[in-house]
Amino acid sequence: MTLISALDVTDVRFPTSRDLDGSDAMNPEPDYSAAYIVLRTDDAAVAGCSLLFTTGRGNDVACAAVRTLAPYVVGRDVADLVADVGSLARALTWDGQLRWLGPEKGVMHMAIGAVVNAAWDLRARLDGQPLWRVLASLSPEEIVRQIDFAYIEDALTPSEALALLEASAAGRAMRTTTLEASGLPAYTTSAGWLGYDDAKVARLVRESVAEGFTMVKLKVGGDVESDVRRLQVARVAAGEEAHIALDANQRWGVGQAIDWMAQLAEFEPYWIEEPTSPDDVLGHRAIRDAVHPIRVATGEHVQNRVIFKQLLQAGAIDVVQIDACRVGGVNENLAILLLAAKFGVPVCPHAGGVGLCEMVQHLAMFDFVAVSGRSEGRWIEYVDHLHEHFTDPVVVEAGRYRAPLAPGGGARLRDSSIAEFRFPDGPAWASQQR
């Protein structure tokens, strides 16, 4: 019997604010960071990895939140733990004291998600499979058992979830073959950061389209005239074929979003992402009604399945953007994928940051193989930096994510990167007193 021996957490920060990579209207100077988790076992060769992504300050709070969860895993039988990660997810979520810090929202909930994700990584490594394939080989009944239906049964019952999964079960083998042969579409955000000048945007958009991307994304929301100009530049560079998505990073109120988008509509953006607070279900509905046929997208900051449920019930969004590190881990994301399928809304995962591409691709691939069964109108976000720090970096070729083959959930950092970027004592930081 192998036991979990420790839940290690390390504060790792990349000084991305020194360039303007990652700059948008709400995050002018992010230092992409991770509360990096290793679920260690008695067997030094067996460990589960995961991370909780943040944008710098507060990464220590994320680490503290993860540490409170150690008693739920340390000392447990590994085989037991990974055989039913759903039970672990429920136990963490419903802790009668920790729940006060959310409930099911904010950094405490993200910490729960990170520990849940580490358990799935451990499971996948023990199975010798990439996570997407582990998930896609579970039976419909097993998948349903992994989901906490609390607060969502008015929109999706366990039997409805089962029916959805059973309906797509027949095609799983064929779609697995398709996926392994040609991957899934990506869109790139690397061309359109708010800190880039027009010439750089034009060049990067042209290069992205030439490389095979069928959609690029531009950050907006700083200044409307500048947005009109940048979008014009990007539209010329992209040509008529490629889509341009826009992202306001919550910059606007409801009325402002509607007014601002009226000025950008002529460039036919594919979607407007995060037009306002991620908490504002009714606001998104009002914006969607006003900006139609431009789609409304949100999700990277949507705190849990309860808000996603309402966004779908209210007909408030056209695109569900799951995030690997925001909600309660793989298990809550399974619930969200099934809610999206029930309402017929496509899932286009949020990624970027550090490790988010590596992690979320598994969920998108599981969605394609076992839930929605579709790739049309679906793209996984791609941002092309910081991948070199992972032992199994994503492979994006000709605008498509290739299906990962390495065992695990994707979030294992290289030891050398941890040593270099450990905060505050790694060499990358030690010279800077903050």
- Which of 4, 14, 30, 421 is in the footprint of its own copies by CB under 8 A? 30
103 binds its own copies (CB under 8 A): yes
Cβ-proximal residues to 355 (8 Å cutoff; 6+ apart), any chain:
34, 51, 53, 324, 325, 386, 390, 410, 411, 413
Smaller CB separation from its own copies, 27 or 178: 27
Stretch of residues binding its own copies (CB under 8 A), selected from 239-247, 274-282, 336-344, 358-366: 274-282
Beta bridge partners of 3: 77
- Which of 278, 299, 328, 349 is in the footprint of its own copies by CB under 8 A? 278
Site string for its own copies, 197-236 (x = CB under 8 A): ----------------------------------------
Q: Smallest distance, Å, CB 177 to its own copies?
A: 39
| Residue 350 a catalytic site member | yes
34 in Cβ contact with 53 (< 8 Å): yes
171 binds its own copies (CB under 8 A): no
- Which residues ranging from 131 to 150 are in contact with its own copies (CB under 8 A)? 149-150
253 binds its own copies (CB under 8 A): yes
Q: Smallest distance, Å, CB 425 to its own copies?
A: 18
393 binds its own copies (CB under 8 A): no
Smaller CB separation from its own copies, 305 or 362: 305
433 binds its own copies (CB under 8 A): no
20 binds its own copies (CB under 8 A): no
What is the Cα–Cα distance from 313 to 333, expressed in whole angstroms? 17
Q: Exposed/middle/buried for 97, CB within 10 Å: 0-12, 13-18, 19+? A: exposed
- Which of 9, 107, 118, 164 is in the footprint of its own copies by CB under 8 A? 107
105, 109, 217, 219: which is the annotated catalytic residue? 219
Helix (H) or strand (E) run with residue 288 in it: helix 281-291
| Residue 389 a catalytic site member | no
331 binds its own copies (CB under 8 A): no
Quick one: CA dihedral 80, 84, 86, 87, positive or negative? negative
Give the interface size with its own copies as a residue count (CB under 8 A): 61
Query: Is the preceding peptide bond at 424 cis, omega within 30 degrees of 0?
Result: yes
CB atoms within 10 A of CB 83: 11
Site string for its own copies, 45-74 (x = CB under 8 A): ---------xxxxx-xxx-xx--x------
Q: Residue 53 corresponds to which tokens in the numbers above?
A: 């992504």
Stretch of residues binding its own copies (CB under 8 A), selected from 128-136, 201-209, 282-290, 408-416: 282-290
Q: CA of 156: how far to CAs of 88, 92, 150, 311, 368, in Å?
A: 22, 22, 10, 14, 20
28 binds its own copies (CB under 8 A): yes
CA quadruple 301, 305, 307, 312: dihedral, nearest 10: 110
- SS3 string of 107-125? HHHHHHHHHHHHHHHHHHH
226 in Cβ contact with 192 (< 8 Å): no
29 binds its own copies (CB under 8 A): yes
286 binds its own copies (CB under 8 A): yes
Q: Smallest distance, Å, CB 285 to its own copies?
A: 10
Q: CA of 272: how far to CAs of 349, 358, 395, in Å?
A: 15, 24, 27
Q: Smallest distance, Å, CB 310 to its own copies?
A: 5
26 binds its own copies (CB under 8 A): yes
What is the Cα–Cα distance from 323 to 375, expressed in whole angstroms? 18
Q: Smallest distance, Å, CB 313 to its own copies?
A: 6
Q: Smallest distance, Å, CB 61 to its own copies?
A: 5
Q: Smallest distance, Å, CB 64 to its own copies?
A: 4
321 binds its own copies (CB under 8 A): no
Smaller CB separation from its own copies, 109 or 125: 109
Site of tokens 């065992």? 407
Cβ-proximal residues to 39 (8 Å cutoff; 6+ apart), any chain:
4, 6, 7, 8, 47, 48, 49, 50, 73, 115, 118, 119, 121, 122
Helix (H) or strand (E) run with residue 332 in it: helix 329-343
CA-wise closest residue to 39 among 134, 128, 114: 114
Q: Exposed/middle/buried for 46, CB within 10 Å: 0-12, 13-18, 19+? A: middle
The catalytic residue positions are 219, 350
Which residues contact its own copies (rule: CB under 8 A)? Answer: 26-31, 54-58, 60-62, 64-65, 68, 95-110, 149-154, 250, 253-255, 276-283, 286, 301, 303-304, 306-307, 309-310, 313-314
